[in-house]
Chain A
Amino acid sequence: MPGKGLKRTVKISKGIVFHLVIYALALVTLAPFIWMVLTSLKDMNEIYVYPPKWLPEKFRFENYKNAFEAAPFGRYYINSIIVSLSVTFGQLITCSMAAFAFARLRFRGSNILFYIFLGTMMIPYNVTMIPSFMMLYWLGWIDSFKALIVPGLASAFGTFLLRQFFMTIPKELEEAAYIDGASRFSVLWRIIIPLSKPALATLAIFTFMGAFNDFIWSLIVLNSDEMRTVQLGLAIFRDRYLTQWDLLMAGSVTAVLPILLVFFFAQKYFIQGITLSGLKE
């Protein structure tokens, strides 16, 4: 039947057009990344060519060496990792404890307290920023890791996320343990935690990413060069080397790469975390 054949051809070509459009959109979305990487490998003369030349004549990996010599990005990295890991581990502990209390323990006022916890999610950081800064100033914690880590050691979002997950774990599992005389802590540690790996991974990845990408708080509480995080280092690097786009792009690649790598391996958890934050589980 010729009609059927035509219909099929139309359908296939529609499919091709659809794929072309969506891949073009993806390419446009990725273009800034591609451009960043290519620029970071170009010679200064090639950078200032118009119309822009996409590929460098020779890949100049020494741009990275130069960027790391112009600013101690290695040091910034170590700082960022120390801070992000501390915040992440801290939150995994505090949030699972708090979530356990809300999901599994019966105590007076638990509902009200939980509402208050959720309510703190509404408070914009701008409101708490100034007094938090002052308190750390009085404590003498300004320009130290403590100032970056301690305020991040608890989170309402994390508590909420874990609570929702803990509530899905059947109670029978822990009842048996309680009958055997287990303490609440060992129930959390031996039963709930091992069963909650996906939720914990989601929280870990979100917290790590948030801490690694944080900017305004580090901008406020840090002032010495050796304490700087990657983000702060990059922002200051930008101010100093505004014309050295090869070095700036090398620095940007440095700041972006770890998170992109984490994302590549843990995509599932990112998606999970977002859908959970959309409260659509």
Chain B
Amino acid sequence: MPGKNNKAGDKLKKKGRTPYKKGDGMSALLFLSPTLVVFSTFILFPVIFSFYLSFQKWNMFSSETTFVGLDNYIRMFQSEEFWQVLKNTAIYTFGTIPLNMGFSLMVAYALNKKVIGKKFLRTAFFAPVIISPVAAAVIWRWLYDPNFGLINWFIGLFGISPINWLNDPTAAMFALIIMGVWKTFGYNMVLFSAGLQGIPETYYEAALIDGAGKWTRFWKITIPLLSPTTFFIMVMSMIGSFQVFDIVYVLTSGGPLGSTKVLVFYVYEHAFKFFEMGYASAVSYVLFAILFIFTMLQMKYMKSKVLGN
């Protein structure tokens, strides 16, 4: 208890803080130092240096870089391949999201009801999320095999003729999207489940008394009250999908004919195959800019949700 004349104590109390010991600042620095060292070395410095590099021409092996101004950016925007890659990334992202969200919401909604073996079902739907993308892509390569693959056999049951999934430029992106949805929907299912559990039961009870049917309850209560979750999932999925790499690398390696070459793959290729560090940095900065826009959308939501406490 602060003394009756202890102004500092009152002030602190007003702010809801407890006066601890003196010298918190020094200990804070000490406690934060390992993290600060790692962050400044592997995040802060790289972000700045990458920006600098995007105006340079450099192959990494020579000791000198050449300032080229906006050349890397101009080259990028004039490159047909870059636009193709950007388009591929957008197709992957906006192809995956609706399927992913629809499916994950459906499963979350179903598992929110009384189901026998809920734990088993949840495990089953979640399993693809946790396994490595590399192994998952290896498995799917085999599933997509045009001659012996399980997928062609499966669609054959419905009378669909075999598709050369990974070698046909139009089918390959579709193959990637299907696999991407399979790999990630379980994650969103968990988020949707948490969102669904956050909706008070009383709303449904009240609606039931008013005679609202199943669909009315779903569209008028569940969907609107779930919208913060939906928004969060949508933006996070966009951010994630724009950075897809592993499954592309193993499943299609960007082919056939560059039809599945995505942005991160393009950055990887230019940096670590062609050693065009400046150009690759410029491309990664454009990707950063795109993701930044998505993140700003997200921040608006996060601010009210998290930093409020």
A residues 184-242 touching B (CB-CB < 8 Å): 184, 188, 209, 212-213, 215-216, 219-220, 230-231, 234-235, 238
A1 within 8 Å of B (CB atoms): no
A18 within 8 Å of B (CB atoms): yes
Contact (Cβ within 8 A) B285 A127? yes
Q: Which of B39, B126, B138, B285 contacts A270 (CB 8 A)?
A: B126
A171 to B126, CA, bound (A): 37
Contact (Cβ within 8 A) A126 B139? no
Contact (Cβ within 8 A) A175 B18? yes
Q: Which of B47, B128, B306 contacts A279 (CB 8 A)?
A: B306
Look across to chain A and name the residue whose beta carbon is closest to the beta carbon of B25. A107
**Chain A residues within 8 Å of B191, by CB:** 274-275, 278, 280
A68 within 8 Å of B (CB atoms): no
A5 within 8 Å of B (CB atoms): no
Given A49-B148, A151-B38, A231-B132, answer yes or no on A131-B31 (Cβ-Cβ < 8 Å). no
**Chain B residues within 8 Å of A130, by CB:** 46, 50, 53, 271, 277, 280-281, 284
B207 within 8 Å of A (CB atoms): no
Contact (Cβ within 8 A) A259 B42? no
A24 to B110, CA, bound (A): 13
Interface string of B241-273 (1 = CB under 8 A from A): 001011001100000000000011001100110
A26 to B263, CA, bound (A): 32
Closest Cβ of chain B to A234, distance in Å, is: 5
A15 to B285, CA, bound (A): 52
Look across to chain A and name the residue whose beta carbon is closest to the beta carbon of B128. A29
B8 within 8 Å of A (CB atoms): no
**Chain B residues within 8 Å of A220, by CB:** 268, 272
A residues 101-153 touching B (CB-CB < 8 Å): 101, 104-108, 110, 113, 115, 117, 120, 122-135, 137, 150-151, 153
Closest Cβ of chain A to B276, distance in Å, is: 10
A33 within 8 Å of B (CB atoms): yes
Closest Cβ of chain A to B16, distance in Å, is: 10
B14 within 8 Å of A (CB atoms): no
A249 to B39, CA, bound (A): 38
Contact (Cβ within 8 A) B126 A153? no
Contact (Cβ within 8 A) A50 B45? no
A53 to B18, CA, bound (A): 69
Q: Which of A98, A184, A255 contacts B35 (CB 8 A)?
A: A98
Given A110-B28, A128-B43, A130-B271, answer yes or no on A154-B288 (Cβ-Cβ < 8 Å). no
Look across to chain A and name the residue whose beta carbon is closest to the beta carbon of B117. A23
Look across to chain A and name the residue whose beta carbon is closest to the beta carbon of B295. A122
Given A29-B124, A107-B24, A270-B126, answer yes or no on A256-B115 (Cβ-Cβ < 8 Å). no
Interface centre among A51, A113, A209, A216 (most CB of B within 10 A): A216
Look across to chain A and name the residue whose beta carbon is closest to the beta carbon of B37. A154
B133 within 8 Å of A (CB atoms): yes
Given A108-B25, A130-B284, A175-B18, answer yes or no on A260-B131 (Cβ-Cβ < 8 Å). yes
**Chain B residues within 8 Å of A263, by CB:** 123, 126-127, 130
Contact (Cβ within 8 A) A274 B182? no
A98 to B36, CA, bound (A): 9
Look across to chain A and name the residue whose beta carbon is closest to the beta carbon of B114. A15
Q: State how many residues of chain B have any CB contact under 8 Å with chain A.
A: 100
Interface string of B109-130 (1 = CB under 8 A from A): 0110101110111111111101
A104 to B18, CA, bound (A): 10
Contact (Cβ within 8 A) A260 B130? yes
Determine the main DSSP class of A at the interface with B. Answer: helix
Q: Which of B38, B110, B194, B250 contacts A154 (CB 8 A)?
A: B38
B302 within 8 Å of A (CB atoms): yes
**Chain A residues within 8 Å of B285, by CB:** 127
Look across to chain A and name the residue whose beta carbon is closest to the beta carbon of B183. A32
A50 to B124, CA, bound (A): 27
Contact (Cβ within 8 A) B28 A101? yes
A252 to B131, CA, bound (A): 10
B94 within 8 Å of A (CB atoms): no
A88 to B232, CA, bound (A): 27
A204 to B34, CA, bound (A): 18
Contact (Cβ within 8 A) B38 A106? no
Other than the given A32-B136, A107-B24, 14 more pairs (CB < 8 A) read A29-B125, A32-B182, A97-B35, A105-B25, A125-B243, A126-B287, A127-B288, A129-B284, A154-B39, A213-B132, A215-B249, A234-B132, A255-B134, A270-B126
Chain A residues within CB distance 8 Å of chain B? 18-19, 22-23, 25-27, 29-33, 35-36, 39, 47-52, 93-95, 97-98, 100-101, 104-108, 110, 113, 115, 117, 120, 122-135, 137, 150-151, 153-154, 156, 159, 167, 171, 175, 178, 184, 188, 209, 212-213, 215-216, 219-220, 230-231, 234-235, 238, 245, 248-249, 251-252, 255-256, 259-260, 263-264, 267, 270-271, 274-275, 278-280
- A-B CB contact pairs (8 Å), 5 listed: A126-B263, A159-B35, A220-B268, A231-B135, A256-B136
When A and B form their complex, which 8 residue pairs have the shortest distance between CB atoms, in order from nearest?
A131-B46, A154-B38, A128-B46, A101-B31, A26-B124, A213-B132, A107-B28, A107-B25
